[in-house]
Amino acid sequence: MYSIKNICCIGAGYVGGPTMAVFAKNCPDIKFEVVDINEERIVAWNSKDLSKLPVFEPGLSEIIELVRGRNLIFSTNLKNSIRKADMIFISVNTPIKKTGLGAGETSDLRWVESCARQIGQIAENHTIVVEKSTLPVKTAQTIKDILLSSECGIKNKSFSVLSNPEFLAEGTAISDLEAPDRVLIGGDDNHAMKALNDIYLNWIPQEKLIFTNLWSSELSKLTANAFLAQRISSINSVSAICEATGADINEVANAIGKDLRIGSKFLQSGPGFGGSCFKKDILNLVYLSKYYGLNEVADYWRSVVEINSWQQTRVYEVIVKKLFGNLANKKIAILGFAFKKNTNDTRESPSIEICKNLLNEGAFISIHDVKVTEDIIKKNLFKNPSILNENLKLNKSNWEFQSNLYDAIKNSDAVVLLTEWEVYKDIDWDWVSKNVRKPFWLFDTRSLVKAKNIQNLGLNIWQLGNGSMN
Ligand code: UDX
Ligand code: ADP
């Protein structure tokens, strides 16, 4: 039996930070330490001003206020934290590989490997290592191999490796962590699995805990995300059929969602799914399938990602067509840069490609978001400017960030609603009608507004999936 008194989490990102905060809140007798090599991030997690935390998540700052300094600390001292720990969560980034074998499909494991090496060298006595990040199937084997290699000095130390994937969604992370649908623990060491199980029992009923072998656990995480993403690509493909036929995607989604076998969740059509997981996880499934010679399976899952890119392109093309095929000398207000509401995360946000394409057409874009900062938007737009022409790479004067929503909209030719932030539901369209250029278009990709209200003000509206507008 293992007794767990000190827990270390490597990686203070969107997963590590909120997860350890909720753990610390519910397990006051255990000491938690979240460590990261990124000093700036740790400083931000330790900042007195809770609005400066690096991750925005409803309910997070209240928990941080309660547990920080009590039984949760954020630090850059990896060595010290690893040495003390009885259990270590690996919560580092695993982006898709950019070059080399498996580029564009499989995860880049350099950060996971570096963690495993550090743990192997520094840990003392018995340590339970838990994979928290979403990883390609069989990564636990890699971690085990590294931990047990002679380079890590196996004297007086031993390890158990568990897979305990996170199922939290950004924007609802705290409630997902407090009351998850299920918690999955994969492993082959019953004592280690029991130790992790007992930690969860502090706030989660036993019947919600599921035990599997390591590979089932790793694969379940990829598959859960692939199934969710597949629903969005399915409904988005139908949104295009609605526009062509006169059907209304919300009516269709409501009708099919009432079938209990289908269910109503994840049927909201939009500009395409974003976030750090969906695309990456499906691509990992594609790679895994190809690796085992299952090319048809690979093609099947790849098409889910392709529909998603197509949906983003489709939105951009509609905008150009409605604005007479010309965006030069036109101001377009982009409302929402985060990939969904209630997060400051922009990874894989559909807004990125849509904005780049609009810039490329010569538009002036004015961007507003509730939580994403100007600096982050700038990095996203000009980080991989492949689709921007040479001129634009040099000339960054064709966009602006506006912290005031109405300043972004003022004198625009069009507004594009991309993120479903609540404030965008309450826009004063009467004011808008008096302060924009005509003919004006509203492109509503998230079904946020009542089309009739906009049309009554003499404004044009295109609503994704709403075929009754043709
Ligand atoms: C997802 C999974 O939900 C979570 O379980 C996993 O651990 C990590 O990946 P996340 O990416 O944070 O979480 O957000 P999610 O709420 O799943 O949304 C992903 C994307 O799908 C967003 O861009 C969202 O706008 C879009 N979406 C979601 C739709 O377009 N329609 C829907 O009906 C639901
Ligand atoms: P996620 O959404 O999975 O949490 P993030 O990118 O938000 O991903 O967070 C991952 C964090 O892990 C980053 O802050 C990064 O600096 C940190 N990290 C990556 N590799 C290491 C490492 N070897 N040691 C410590 N921290 C690491």
pLDDT of residue 396: 61
| pLDDT, position 195 | 98
Which residues in the chain come in under a pLDDT of 50?
A: none
How many angstroms separate the alpha carbon of residue 275 from the centre of ligand 1?
Answer: 7
Could you tell me if the CB of 75 is within 6 A of ligand 2? no
Residue 337: the pLDDT is 98
Q: How far apart are the first and last CA of the chain?
A: 67
Give residue 38 CA to ligand 2 midpoint distance, Å: 8
Residues 417 and 324 in one domain: yes
Same domain, 291 and 205: no
Determine how many CB atoms are found less than 10 A away from the CB of residue 99.
8
342 CA distance to ligand 1 centroid (A)? Answer: 12
Q: Tell me, yes or no, whether 251 lies in a domain.
A: no
Q: Which atom of ligand 2 is the closest one to the Cα of 133? A: 3
Residue of 43, 81, 92, 345 best suited for mutating to test ligand 2, as the one with most atoms within 8 Å of CB: 92
In a domain, 164, yes or no: yes
In the beta sheet, which residues pair with residue 88? 8, 129
Does 276 sit in the ligand 2 pocket, CB within 6 Å? yes
Residue where a domain terminates, one of 196, 212, 228: 212
Residue numbers of the domain that contains 87: 6-212
Cβ–ligand 2 distance for 420 under 6 Å, the answer no
Specify if 232 maps to a domain. no
> Does residue 369 have its Cβ closer than 6 Å to ligand 2?
no
Residue 242 included in any domain: no
For residue 342, the domain's CATH number is 3.40.50.720
- Please tell me whether residues 291 and 400 are part of one structural domain: yes
Do residue 205 and residue 349 come from a single domain?
Answer: no
Q: Do 318 and 403 lie in a common domain?
A: yes
Of the ligands numbered here, which is closest to the C-alpha atom of 16? 2
Same domain membership, residue 118 and residue 24: yes
Atom index in ligand 2 nearest the CA of residue 347 equals 2
Burial of 132 (C-beta count, 10 Å sphere; 0-12/13-18/19+): buried
Pairing of the two strands 157-163 and 399-401? unpaired
* Each residue's pLDDT tens digit, 202-252: 999 999 999 999 999 999 999 999 999 999 999 999 999 999 999 999 999
Count of alpha carbons within 13 angstroms of residue 122, beta-carbon side: 19
pLDDT value for 390 = 60
- Structural domain tally of the chain? 2
Residue 176 shares a structural domain with residue 284: no
- Going from the Cα of 14 to the center of ligand 1, the distance in angstroms, rounded, reads 14
Indicate if 284 and 206 belong to the same structural domain. Answer: no
Please report the DSSP string for 33-69 in residue order: EEE-S-HHHHHHHT-SSGGG-SS--TTHHHHHHHHBT
| Ligand 2 center–CA 12 separation, angstroms | 6
Q: Let me know the angle formed at the C-alpha of 178 by 174 and 182, rounded to the nearest 5 degrees.
A: 115
Give 178-215 as a 3 state SS string: HCCCCEEEECCCHHHHHHHHHHHCCCCCHHHEEEECHH
C-beta of 467 in contact with ligand 2 (< 6 A): no
Question: Based on the domain organization, do 312 and 452 belong to the same domain?
Answer: yes
131 inside domain: yes
What pLDDT, on the 0 to 100 scale, is given for residue 222?
Answer: 94
Q: Is residue 296 part of a domain?
A: yes
- Closest approach atom of ligand 2 to CA 114: 23
Taking only the tens place, the pLDDT of each residue in 84-133 is 999 999 999 988 899 999 999 888 889 999 999 999 999 999 999 999 98
Are 195 and 334 in a shared domain? Answer: no
CA dist 290 and 299 (Å) reads 9
Ligand 1 centroid – CA 412 distance (Å): 30
Burial class (CB in 10 A: 0-12, 13-18, 19+), 386: exposed
Question: Kindly report the CA angle at 7 between 4 and 11, in degrees rounded to 5?
Answer: 155
Whether residues 286 and 174 share a domain: the answer is: no
Residues with CB under 6 A from ligand 1: 166-170, 225, 228, 232, 266-268, 270, 273-275, 277-278, 339-340
Tokens in use for 264?
A: 């109503």
Active site residue ranges: 277
Does 169 sit in the ligand 2 pocket, CB within 6 Å?
A: no
Ligand 2 mutation target, pool 14, 36, 118, 279, most atoms within 8 A of CB = 36
Identity (one letter) of the amino acid at 322?
Answer: K
Could you tell me if 163 and 38 lie in one domain? yes
Considering 183, 212, 241, which residue would you say is the last residue of a domain? 212
Which ligand has an atom closest to residue 275 CA?
1
Q: Among all ligands shown, which has an atom nearest to the Cα of 337?
A: 1
343 part of a folded domain: yes
Q: How far is the CA of 320 from the centre of ligand 1 (A)?
A: 27
- The answer to whether residue 373 sits within a structural domain is yes
Q: Which ligand is nearest to the CA of 231?
A: 1
Q: Which of 172, 189, 212 represents a domain boundary (last residue)?
A: 212
